[in-house]
Amino acid sequence: MTMLSYLLLSGITTGALYALVALGLVVVNKATGVINFAQGELFMVAGFIAWSIHVQFGFDFGISFAGAVLVGFVLGCAIDRVAFRPLLRADVVSIVLATVGISFMLKGIGRIIWGGKGDYLSFPPITSTDPIMLGDIVIVPQQIAVLAGAIAIMIAFALFFRFTRIGKMMQATADNAKAATLVGIRIERIYTLAFGTGAAVAAAAAVLSAPLTLLYPDMGFSFFIKGFAAAVVGGLTSLPGAVVGGLAIGIVEALAGGYIHSSMMEVSAFIAIMLVLLIRPTGLLSFHKARRV
């Protein structure tokens, strides 16, 4: 029971972070119809930015969080201008290759700026590292803090799309870009906001995960794969599906690593993708026809 409770808490915490990465992917995909393959490297850069603000410059966690999210938003907008906007009328493959190129560029920048300080950098914990025992259940305060932060971001994300004018404009563009243009919505700006918002959510996930893991230049690919798996499982056009998919991937990963073998943690996401695609190709909570990515 103790092991199961720990694995479930760990899986839910990690899954919440995967859900945030997946949300960023879904926002971009809903608005533009493509997958931003630089999402993982945006995650990595944001983690290092937060580390620099918090550790090197001595600011508190809140400022480092806000700074990393702001940098992520700006980088996301820049990717729209550099990799997406010039290829707006090109085929999907060209746009995907452009985002892949951006991902390699960001990884190289990460190696140049932070790679020379060692392969791995540790982010100071934001809470006590001592576990709390509630009967047979082991609770790690750090995981609870990260989970609470992830849930707060998800709620803020849902409120943004439901109650703000920009959020409604982004949804309208995602549903029908031509109709949105006819009613006066400047879809080019919405595309920029979509890339920026997706990157900002990935940055938030990076800062939340930083105290639980080590920072290194290649970390982005792993989180991108898990976030992409979550988006596929839930549905590439479904925001609730991204949350469900992220939690599902996190829990399956934790249970597989705990009860089968640690190596299963890396392949469980791919197994989940294959199973969902066999049963429901559009994802668990997506009711739209499949789209090319």
Q: Domain for residue 277, yes or no?
A: no
pLDDT of residue 292: 44
Q: How many domains does the chain have?
A: 1
pLDDT of residue 105: 93
Q: Domain for residue 140, yes or no?
A: yes
* Stated pTM of the model: 0.88
pLDDT of residue 118: 56
Q: Domain for residue 250, yes or no?
A: no
Q: Domain for residue 267, yes or no?
A: no
Q: Domain for residue 131, yes or no?
A: yes
pLDDT of residue 275: 84
Q: Domain for residue 59, yes or no?
A: yes
3-state secondary structure the chain: CHHHHHHHHHHHHHHHHHHHHHHHHHHHHHHHCCCCCCHHHHHHHHHHHHHHHHHHCCCCHHHHHHHHHHHHHHHHHHHHHHHHHHHCCCCHHHHHHHHHHHHHHHHHHHHHHCHHHCCCEECCCCCCCCCEEECCEEECHHHHHHHHHHHHHHHHHHHHHHHCHHHHHHHHHHHCHHHHHHCCCCHHHHHHHHHHHHHHHHHHHHHHHHHHCEECCCHHHHHHHHHHHHHHHHCCCCHHHHHHHHHHHHHHHHHHHHHCCCCHHHHHHHHHHHHHHHHCCCCCCCCCCCCCC
Q: Domain for residue 52, yes or no?
A: yes
Range of the structural domain that residue 112 is part of: 2-218
Q: Domain for residue 226, yes or no?
A: no
The tens place of each residue's pLDDT in the chain, 293 residues long, gives 578 878 888 889 899 999 999 999 998 888 888 889 999 999 999 999 999 999 999 999 999 999 999 999 999 999 998 888 888 778 888 888 899 999 999 999 998 888 765 568 889 888 777 777 776 667 778 888 888 888 998 888 888 888 888 888 888 887 788 888 888 888 888 899 999 999 999 999 999 988 888 899 888 888 999 999 899 888 888 888 889 999 999 999 988 888 888 778 878 878 888 888 788 877 777 655 544 44
